Amino acid sequence: MSQPPSSARADTKFIVVLSDGMADFPLDELDGRTPLDAAHTPNMDAIAAQGVVGGVDVIPSGQQPGSDVGNLSVLGYDPDEYLTGRAPLEAASMGLELGPTDVAFRCNLVTLDGDLLDDYSAGHISSEEAEELIAALSEQLDNGDLRLFAGVQYRHILLTDDAFDDVEATPPHDIMGQPYQEFLPRGASCAPLLRWMEESRAILKDHPVNRDRIADGKRPANSIWLWGQGRAPSLPTFADKYGLSGAAISAVDLVRGIARYAGLEVLSVPGITGYLDTNYAGKGAAAVDSLESADFVYVHVEAPDEAAHLGDAQAKIDAIEAVDHEVVGRALEYLDGHPDTRISVLPDHVTAISTRTHAHGAVPFAACGAGIEPDGVSTYSEASATQTALTFAKGHRWMDWFLGASG
């Protein structure tokens, strides 16, 4: 690893644009390029040309490649030390207080088609429809052993005070189009989970929301899928770690929950969805506006990851280009008027179009601004990141480098 940037001045501002799942592998349909390489990204390339490009392994060995692990790493928290499960982080975003014996599960509304898991998001069901379905499930399943809480679109939370320490559960986005039976929760204590999932199918099958969705040619939300379980984590705040005040922008409960545990102010932006139709421009504007009072802002955009889960290379390219134009471009405009600023762009993990799921592997980052000397690399991509010696084998140390906090 090369030397870190010089220590930041006390008035330096920091912008991190986290483009979820943006990294990928070369595709034949893109003439051997990745979606990032194929996308028109003049602003990301400008960060590279004005600063440095490198690689960071955000997923520690033995951890699953997911946004919980990746975002914790990028924000400077070692997942091996601080990750207790994905669901507790999402619960925090929803304002749910976990007691010392509570276990939170992520509860997806999914579409099953025969023996296959057809869609991990039930056709990206609307939050309004999902709320009705979760209410029906809660009324019939909630017997004191579990509590259901509606979140956003297909993402919900189940709380229980039963012990499920031995349970292994598979993320549904990892098994799209595959027989789901072999991926059901497993472990000596998983019987209640299997029962709740089975009972959900009977409740949801003929619910009016699903009848209407089928009539409209949409996928029904005909089952729940439980995964990502864990107890409440304990994180030092970002301010305690780095001496900086901070803010975060995301439409995804997971990232908002991490931000809350880290003591970052979670900003509300109208029209952000966690999907391809999100308000990119609103995120960019809110990010730079937040720096009037905050020292650091973390802007998370989910869209490239969602496109990859759909297996849609063009949609992923479009999402990356929107991030570049509306979010990274706005950050560079801010840098022009505020030279004591550092900007970086990177993904939290690889999401492969070819498999429609997450994968291990280092991801590229680009960073520029105050105290960062250009390294001569002029473009930002997975390939260009391999041209430099600036690499981080332990992803949670990347933030120290970016903030100039360690040598």
DSSP, collapsed to helix, strand or coil, labels residue 23 as strand
Dump pLDDT digits (tens) for 153-205: 999 999 998 778 889 999 999 999 999 999 999 999 999 999 999 999 999 99
Of the candidates 339, 343, 345, 336, the residue with the CA atom closest to the CA atom of residue 364: 345
pLDDT of residue 307: 97
For the chain, the distance separating the N- and C-terminal CA atoms, rounded to the nearest angstrom, is 10
Distance CA 249, CA 266 (A): 6
Helix axes 280-290, 329-337, angle to 10 degrees: 30
Dump pLDDT digits (tens) for 126-154: 999 999 999 999 999 866 778 999 998 99
The per-residue pLDDT string of the chain (407 residues; one tens digit each, 9 = 90 and over) reads 444 444 555 689 999 999 999 999 999 999 999 999 999 999 999 999 999 999 999 999 999 999 999 999 999 999 999 999 999 999 998 999 898 889 999 999 999 999 999 999 999 999 999 999 999 999 998 667 789 999 989 999 999 987 788 899 999 999 999 999 999 999 999 999 999 999 999 999 999 999 999 999 999 999 999 999 999 999 999 999 999 999 999 999 899 999 999 999 999 999 999 999 999 999 999 999 999 999 999 999 999 999 999 999 999 999 999 999 999 999 999 999 999 999 999 999 999 999 999 999 999 999 999 999 999 999 999 999 999 999 999 999 999 999 995 33
pLDDT of residue 82: 96
Distance CA 327, CA 43 (A): 9
DSSP 210: H
Cβ atoms within 10 Å, residue 268:
9
Spell out where 20-73 has E strands: 52-56
pLDDT of residue 8: 53
Assess contact for 350 and 363: CB atoms under 8 A: yes
Distance CA 68, CA 173 (A): 14
Residue 40, phi then psi, degrees to nearest 5? -85, 105
Tokens representing residue 185 in the block: 């929760």
List the beta bridge partners of residue 266: 248
Cβ atoms within 10 Å, residue 125:
23
Distance CA 117, CA 165 (A): 25
Tokens representing residue 345 in the block: 């762009």
pLDDT of residue 194: 95
Distance CA 202, CA 350 (A): 36
Of the candidates 68, 29, 116, the residue with the CA atom closest to the CA atom of residue 358: 68
Dump pLDDT digits (tens) for 46-69: 999 999 999 999 999 999 999 999
Distance CA 12, CA 296 (A): 9
* 13-83+234-403 CATH: 3.40.720.10
Assess contact for 23 and 361: CB atoms under 8 A: yes
Distance CA 67, CA 358 (A): 9
pLDDT of residue 161: 86
Of the candidates 296, 255, 295, the residue with the CA atom closest to the CA atom of residue 272: 255
Q: Is 32 left (phi over 0), alpha (psi -120 to 50) or beta?
A: left
CA–chain centroid gap for 399, Å, is 17
Domain ranges of the chain: 13-83+234-403, 97-230
Find all residues with CB under 8 Å of 284, minimum gap 6, and list them: 299, 326, 327, 328, 329, 330, 331
Of the candidates 70, 55, 205, 184, the residue with the CA atom closest to the CA atom of residue 140: 205
